Chains A and B, each alone.
Chain A
Amino acid sequence: MDPLILSRIQFGVTTIYHFFFVPLTLGLSYIVAIMETIYVLSGNEVYKRMAKFWGKLFVINFAMGVVTGIVQEFQFGMNWSEYSRFVGDIFGAPLAIEALLAFFLESVFIGVWIFGWDKLSKGLHAAAIWLVAIASTVSAFWILLANSFMQEPLGYAIDGGRAVMTDFLALILNPNLWVQFPHTMSAGFVTAAFFVLGISAYHLLKSSNVDLFRRSFQIAAIIGSLAVVLLGLYGHSQSQHMLESQPMKMASAEALWNTESPASFSLLTIGDMEQRSEIFSIRVPGLLCLLSFSRFDCEIQGIYDLQTQYEAEFGPGNYIPPVAVIYWSFRIMVGIGLLLLALGLYAAFLVMRDTFQNRGLSLKIYVWAIVLPYISNSFGWILTEIGRMPWIVYGLMKVDDGLSFTVPPYQMLLTLLGFTLVYAALIVATIYLMLKFIKVVPQPGADSQPDEDAQTPSVATV
């Protein structure tokens, strides 16, 4: 088999799988930290049980994020060694910094948090989960800084056939990073908020431990409604920025072929799509901006024109990414994003009206909505990464030049199968455990740690 295809599939599988767990970690860490902080400040035991209930789910998810992250650190060297040699001077630094600043912090303090309930003061224990949350954010920042170099190389020079760093500050100030990072963080908060909303809704439907889950729903609704708005706004900024930095990606996302096809047809296609978007999203300011921007489509270059330009600039070759994949990934991501926006705002509305406990249908929708952010997160990355093709580093190196050409294809096939099978088995175990702990209702006084409850008698709240 073609080693390029094998390696690309492997990177796709391991990265998307890793990103099943990352967004929830990014957002839920803060939500648990907020819950525990309320407990510390108010002394209300229900918030302690709440932090423990969500904390348990957080830890299962966190572990999966950590172990699948190990592969991310090393697979550049394994399957993409020519890429690693070419960009190592630039790309290695953020990875090492991420390990030093973030991995140590989150790994040490997650241990402190899990094992430290009865060994630390309340405040210090809450501080541990805050540190885990901050560390995860720092981790996201540095890895996205590395990714931003692949999307929009800045602060480098080409020296002796490789890219070398000339300006570290330029890497940090990379404009792509400052739209991608907030967009990713918002996606993390949205994922976590819908996770909490959905599971709380499930329990509210069953009327189990209503007090705890009503409050959880409220917290998640507040965070979620803010996060969906930010997600949309930053998603919009990112699209606009991409139009400047990677016009081919955006042209593909819009399926804007060009002047060669009859102009009316092309306009009709876009217009049709625009109308479809409009139906879903009339109330969304972020999307209205997008629509108004799209009106200047004389300024949006078509795919064929870009292809001609790139051939002139980089030499002959195919510079068009798989348009259908990009087009539909963008549609799915944005479509689900708009749905999440509506659901997020509606959750806030329900909480303000304080009627959500009795609304069976609405609650059921939130249970099912848990999966939505996972779909849009995945397609967001498919858009970002496949949309960059054929480049591995935009404008500097093509993906087929980045491969480890000394690794025999059968070994690449072996690792692809190995990772896929192990990952498939692990997702089954993870979902099994998640479902199990989702169903365990944290009753007052029936804490999973009875020895602690003896010390701190719980206050009945229901």
Chain B
Amino acid sequence: MDLNIVWFILIAVLYIGFFILEGFDFGVGILLPFLSRGKEPEMVDRKRRLIINTIGPHWDGNEVWLLTAGGATFAAFPEWYATMFSGFYLALFLVLLALIYRGVSFEFRSKDNNPRWRKLWDWGIILGSLLPALLLGVVFANILRGVPIDAEMNYVGGFFNLLNPYALLVGLTTVAVCTLYGAIFLTLKIEGDLAQTARIFAIRFWIFTAILLLAALVATYFFTDIPGQLGVIPGIIPLAGFAAVLLAGFFIRKRKDGLAFTMTALTIVFTLTAFFIILFPRVMVSSLNPEYSLTVYNASSTQYTLTIMTVVALIFVPVVLLYQGWSYWIFRKRLTIDSHLEY
């Protein structure tokens, strides 16, 4: 296997890792207003703090998966990085603004008692979670569906080109999967009434997610060149993704939250794996001419750079996994409404 393929896989792993981790904390952010309803403002605020604190120690480390995926794209496939970020300019600008607002909101929100202050940062958490999930879904769908890329690897479409029905469907599906995933995560991290509220939400919301996911998978057969890319056997992978979401629904009803969580994570793993298999060996599909598509070969760095990056990744990715895993272990204890909360 050559290094270009190794790096395609590594970047796929980084994005999958990102959605597995940040997926639930996006979901938790989106759910903030929906699971904290109540009559007394103080109780609502307490619930919100409880919800935020379930991801308090983790959201930042989770987000680094995206930054690293971006950095790795730059290092291994500079043409991909350049075309994608200049091409999806406004969409990614909105993702950046949303992530800025979100990150600050976690840190600032509970450091002042003023209700208007808290509301301001609550919006940061909600929009900051919703928008990136939606827009990253849209961006990924467009990468696969194909966008106008000319012979010089330049994106020549406008902003509204990106907002086609297929991409919006994938964007909405991403939001739905993250939301379901976040609700199930909350059932695992909270002890008490709020966990039950989250479970009920997950049960109700699950059917909506499953339908959207099915629609997105079916649409993928119509709007991308999946038949040419996916043989009979890899065709199982998107189906496995759908099966996993069905099982997630089954387990959440049975109150087997851990299994439901695992199944939602597997939904993400399977659908994104399918995405990258369909994409390969291209990294961005040109809708103008298949010849213009960016591939792991014409968009890549030199073998020298790829070799150095491979050595660095082989040493440090396992180290990162170890200490990040350890941090989840440290904060494994469920939170209750009476817990001491930092955020």
Contact = CB atoms under 8 A, between A and B. Distances in A.
Given A74-B70, A406-B154, A418-B93, 18 more contacts: A64-B104, A68-B100, A74-B96, A81-B83, A84-B82, A85-B78, A88-B82, A93-B308, A93-B309, A96-B72, A99-B67, A109-B323, A120-B330, A165-B301, A407-B89, A408-B158, A419-B97, A426-B100
Given A76-B74, A97-B312, A164-B302, A429 B108 contact: yes
A259 interface: no
Contacts of B331: 115-116, 119
A460 interface: no
A71 B96 contact: yes
A70 B304 contact: no
A73 B71 CA distance: 7
Given A81-B83, A96-B74, A96-B309, A66 B97 contact: no
Contacts of B75: 88, 92-93, 95-97
A89 B305 contact: yes
A308 interface: no
Interface in A145-194: 159, 164-166, 168
A103 B60 CA distance: 9
Q: How large is the interface on A (under 10, 10 to 19, 20 to 34, 35 or more residues)?
A: 35 or more
Interface stretch (B223-231, B253-261, B273-281, B313-321): B313-321
B2 interface: no
A398 to B, nearest CB: 17
A112 B57 contact: yes
A119 B335 CA distance: 13
Given A433-B111, A449-B340, A71 B56 contact: no
B60 to A, nearest CB: 4
Nearest to A118: B340
A88 B81 contact: yes
A88 B79 contact: yes
A389 B173 CA distance: 46
A62 B302 CA distance: 35
B155 interface: yes
B122 interface: no
A405 B301 CA distance: 22
A324 interface: no
Interface string A31-62: 00000000000000000000000000001100
Q: Which 3 A-B pairs have the closest CB atoms?
A: A88-B78, A77-B85, A92-B74
A156 B308 CA distance: 14
A63 B305 contact: no
A107 B60 contact: yes
Interface string A90-126: 1111011111110111011111101110111000000
A436 interface: yes
B330 A84 contact: no
A93 B74 CA distance: 7
B288 interface: no
A59 B89 CA distance: 31
A104 B104 contact: no
A278 B273 CA distance: 66
Contacts of B82: 77, 81-82, 84-85, 88, 404
Given A89-B305, A92-B301, A108-B324, A84 B67 contact: no
Given A84-B82, A418-B93, A451-B340, A104 B305 contact: no
B86 A78 contact: yes
B191 to A, nearest CB: 17
A371 interface: no
Interface of A: 59-60, 63-64, 66-68, 70-71, 73-74, 76-79, 81-82, 84-85, 87-93, 95-101, 103-105, 107-112, 114-116, 118-120, 159, 164-166, 168, 404-408, 411, 414-415, 418-419, 422, 426, 429, 433, 436-437, 449, 451
Nearest to A415: B93
Nearest to B72: A96
Contacts of A111: 56-61, 327
Interface in B96-120: 96-97, 99-101, 103-104, 106-108, 111-112
B304 A166 contact: yes
Nearest to B120: A429
A79 B93 CA distance: 11
21 contacts: A63-B106, A67-B99, A70-B103, A74-B92, A76-B81, A77-B82, A77-B85, A77-B86, A78-B89, A85-B78, A88-B75, A89-B305, A93-B309, A96-B76, A97-B312, A99-B72, A100-B68, A104-B324, A107-B64, A112-B327, A418-B97
Given A84-B78, A429-B108, A89 B302 contact: yes
Contacts of B71: 73, 92, 95-100
A418 B342 CA distance: 31
A100 B317 contact: yes
B90 interface: yes
B107 A59 contact: yes
Nearest to B69: A99
B168 interface: no
A429 B78 contact: no
A306 B76 CA distance: 37
B159 interface: yes
B176 to A, nearest CB: 25
Contacts of B324: 104, 108
A74 B85 contact: yes
A444 to B, nearest CB: 20
Contacts of B159: 411
B195 to A, nearest CB: 20
Contacts of B76: 92, 96
A154 to B, nearest CB: 15
Nearest to B65: A104
A165 B302 CA distance: 8
Nearest to B150: A406
A100 B313 contact: yes
Given A63-B107, A120-B330, A91 B97 contact: no
A60 B107 CA distance: 7
Contacts of A429: 104, 108
A242 to B, nearest CB: 27
